[in-house]
Structure 1
Amino acid sequence: MAPTDPVDQDPLDEPLGTPDPPDPTRQSLWRPLRLLQASMDADIARIYSERLTEGPKSSFVMELLRLHADGPMTIAELAESVQRTHSALSQKVAAMRTAGWVETVVGDDARTRRVTLTDKARRVVDRLAAEWRATEAAIADLEAEIPYPLSRVVGDIEQALERKSFHDRIAEKLARDPAWG
C-alpha cells in the first residue's frame, strides 16, 4: 500500500528517472516549526518593547537569568550551563557586553575571565524572570489545547534519534541518491 500522506513519502523511494524539482528548498517539513518559533519569539520581543523601556534582546534572557541565579561564570561554564557551544556563547557575551548587560572581570587566575551582570541587568532581572514564568505558563496552556503537545513530540523525536541518529538517517538517504555520488 502506497503512503497517502506526503509526510510518509520518501522522495528517494520514487523510481529512478523521476525528475527532481528545480529547487528542493521549496519543500520543507521543518520550516513551519522554525516559522512558528520565530513568530512566538517575536511576540516575546514585543512584550519587552511594550513593557521594558530598556530591555535586553529576548535571546539574552536565559543567560542573564542563569548568571543571576548562579553568579559569575566563565564563558565555558555559562556555555555548558545553557547547552550552547563555547564559540556561540563567546559571541553572545560580546554582544551582551556591548549592550551593557554583562561585563567580564578577571577570574581566579589572570588567564580566565568571569562574566557577571551589570547594574543595568540587575535592575530588570526580576521582570525577566516574571516573563520567563509567564511564557512557560502560556506554553503549558497551548499544549493543553492541542492533542499532541510539542514537548511530547520533542521527547518522542529524541527517543527515535537514540535508536538511530539523524546523521545516520541522512547518510542512508544520501547513499541511495545518485546525485550525491
Structure 2
Amino acid sequence: MTQEKERPGGGADDPGRESLWRPLRELQEAMDAEIARVYAERRIEGLKPSFVRELLRLDACGPMTIGALATSVGLTPSALSQKVAAMRTAGWVRTVPGADARSRRVTLTAKSRQVVGRLAAEWRATEAALAELEAEVPYPLSRVVVDIERALERQSFHDRIAAKLAADPAWE
C-alpha cells in the first residue's frame, strides 16, 4: 500500500496557484500591517485597521443601529454584525438596546473614545501617504478602480465568468 506524498505547494495542476489579484491582496495586507505597527508604536493594542472606519463613523454620527452603520460604510448588515462582534470582543464598541426591543445600537466605549482623535489623525495621514504613492506611479490604483468599474458596466463580472465557464467542459 502506497501513501500519497504531501505536496506542500500544491500540485502543478492546481489552478489556485495562480491569481492575478493575489499581489493586490498581499499588498493591502502588508500596508494594513504597517498601519497596525503605527498603532502598536502608540500603544493602541488590539486595534485592527479594518475597525477604524466604523469607529470614526460612530464618533462622527453617534450611536447607530447595525443596519444604519452598515449602510453608511457600504457593508451588508450581516458582514457588519460579524465585525461589530469582533470589535465588541476587543473592547472598542458595545451594543445597547435600540428604540424597539428588536434593535440594538452600536456605540463607542470609553477605550475607543480615548483614541478616536488619534485614529482620525492616522486616517488623514494614511490618505495623504496613499495620495503621495499614487503620485509616484504612472497609473494610480484609484484610476484602475474607476476603469474596472466602467468595464464592468459594459459586461458584469458574473457574465464574464459565466461565459468562460460555458466554454469549459469541466463545468458541465
The aligned residue for residue 13 of structure 1 is: none
Match in the other structure for 1:100: 91
In the TM superposition, 1:141-160 aligns within 5 A as 141-160=132-151
Q: What is residue 169 of structure 1 aligned with on the other side?
A: 160
| Cα distance between partner residues in 1 of 2:158 and 2:44 | 44
CA contact (8 A) 1:55 1:124 kept: no
What corresponds to 1:76 in structure 2? 67
Unaligned runs of at least 5 residues, structure 2? 1-11
Letter of the structure 2 residue corresponding to residue 96 of structure 1: M
TM-score by length of 1: 0.86
Shift of 1:55: 5.3
One-letter code of the match for 1:56? L
Q: Which residue of 2 aligns with 1:129?
A: 120
Residue 17 of structure 1 corresponds to: none
**Structure 1 stretches lacking a partner, 5+ long:** 1-20
Contact 1:102-1:115 within 8 A present in 2 as well: yes
Out of 38, 50, 69, the residue aligned to residue 59 of structure 1 is 50
Residue of structure 1 in register with 2:7 after alignment: none
Which amino acid is the alignment partner of residue 57 of structure 2? Answer: R
Please name the residue that 1:138 is paired with.
129
Looking at structure 2, the residues matched to 88 and 145 of structure 1 have their Cα atoms a distance apart, in angstroms, of 34
TM-score for both structures, normalised by structure 2:
0.90
Q: Find the residue that maps to 2:96 and give its secondary structure.
A: strand
Q: Could you tell me how far apart the structure 2 residues matched to 1:48 and 1:177 are?
A: 48
In structure 2, the partner of 1:39 is 30
Which residue in 1 is equivalent to 2:9?
Answer: none
Residue 87 of structure 1 corresponds to 78
Q: Relative to 1, partners in 2 of residues 1:54 and 1:28: Cα closer, same or farther, differing over 3 Å?
A: closer
Write the deviation string for residues 19-72 of structure 1: whole angstroms up to 9, x where unpaired: xx6111122111111111111111111111111343522111111001001111
Q: Give deviations 1:70-114, integer Å, cap 9, x for gaps.
A: 111000111111111111111111111111111111111222111
